[in-house]
């Protein structure tokens, strides 16, 4: 399904979702000479995420109001995304951006990458810089390997370093996502010498293949709380870890089933339930709200 983004002349303050993602599997096929990893993974979106509010200004200054994340401005992906778009388009506008952070940092649900993608997509509209989706992806891949999938907004199997995307359509389900309250560095996991890096690439229908998360065993070894979370979820349904962790998840057919599991969650962990989405909730929101 192609995503059609509408243009806008509005300068009003408007809020947009930066949705979470889950990796239903993650295979690492090798390590490239530039340090990046060749991988295969299946991304789906969740109808749940951070909320970013944008106000266009007539100066080039990018101001981010974020009361939760203690990240230096020069390291914040939202600011980096906005500046990258300014530079790529020679845009003279700026923006005041506020972030309501609900996705856990270091949780493997794509919070930073999704925030960056939402910033690129929304400011491309509000600033009327008129870049195509592919041009935005070219900017996004330099910010993070997961950014392009959020920009394109379609559930997909990703290959390469995450930039080669093949859209996929799955039955939507309800997911319980549990945060074990540990922060896991993606770079630390991908650079660890014990990480498996030789999984054979899928040749046939992935549904008929053995799939798993190649990061999971390593993460469980060094972060026992992740293992405890997976074992707890396993009482209710098959459990998996997303990305490099730390969040773990299980799927259910109905909202009621998912809600019952969430209500049984031990107090030491946090969690949420959300319905999966094959098209990013942000893209649906843009087509409705941007006139």
Q: How far is CA 161 from CA 30, 144, 147, in A?
A: 10, 10, 11
Catalytic residue among 21, 80, 220, 240: 21
Within the chain, strands assigned E span 14-31, 37-57, 62-65, 94-100, 156-159, 164-167, 174-179, 240-241, 248-252, 270-277
**For residue 239, what are its two tokens?**
């459990």
* Element of type H or E holding 232: helix 224-233
Which residue reads 């200054």 in tokens? 61
Ramachandran area for residue 222 (φ above 0: left; ψ -120 to 50: alpha; else beta): alpha
What are the angstrom distances between the C-alpha of 41 and each of 202, 213, 223? 10, 9, 22
Q: Which of 50, 66, 115, 146 is catalytic?
A: 146
247 vs 236: CA distance, rounded Å = 16
Note whether 15 and 97 are within 8 A (CB).
no
- Please indicate whether residue 21 is annotated as part of the active site: yes
Q: Is 288 exposed, middle or buried (0-12, 13-18, 19+ CB in 10 A)?
A: exposed
**Catalytic annotation on 146?**
yes
Rounded distance between C-alpha atoms, residue 31 and residue 28, angstroms: 8
d(CA 218, CA 61): 42
Active site residues: 21, 146
């Amino acid at each position: 399904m192609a995503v059609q983004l509408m243009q806008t002349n509005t300068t009003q303050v408007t809020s947009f979702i930066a949705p979470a993602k889950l990796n239903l599997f993650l295979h690492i096929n090798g390590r490239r000479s530039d340090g990046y990893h060749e991988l295969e993974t299946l991304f789906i979106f969740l109808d749940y995420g951070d909320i970013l509010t944008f106000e266009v200004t007539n100066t080039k200054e990018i101001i981010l109001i974020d009361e939760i994340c203690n990240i230096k401005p020069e390291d914040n992906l939202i600011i980096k995304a906005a500046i990258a778009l300014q530079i790529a388009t020679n845009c003279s506008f700026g923006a005041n951006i506020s972030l309501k952070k609900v996705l856990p940092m270091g949780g493997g649900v794509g919070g930073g990458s999704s925030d960056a993608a939402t910033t690129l997509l929304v400011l491309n509209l509000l600033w009327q810089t008129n870049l195509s989706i592919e041009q935005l992806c070219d900017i996004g891949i330099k910010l993070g390997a997961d950014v392009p999938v959020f920009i394109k907004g379609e559930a997909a199997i990703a290959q390469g370093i995450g930039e080669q995307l093949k859209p996929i359509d799955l039955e939507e389900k309800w997911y319980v996502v549990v945060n074990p309250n540990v922060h896991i560095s993606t770079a630390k996991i991908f650079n660890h010498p014990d990480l498996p890096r030789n999984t054979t690439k899928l040749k046939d229908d992935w549904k008929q293949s053995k799939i798993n998360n190649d990061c999971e065993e390593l993460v469980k070894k060094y972060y026992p709380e992740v293992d405890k979370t997976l074992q707890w979820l396993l009482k209710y349904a098959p459990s998996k870890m997303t990305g490099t962790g730390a969040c773990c998840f299980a799927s259910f057919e109905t909202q009621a089933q998912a809600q019952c599991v969430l209500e049984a969650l031990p107090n030491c962990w946090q969690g949420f339930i959300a319905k999966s989405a094959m098209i990013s909730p942000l893209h649906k929101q843009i087509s409705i709200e941007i006139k």
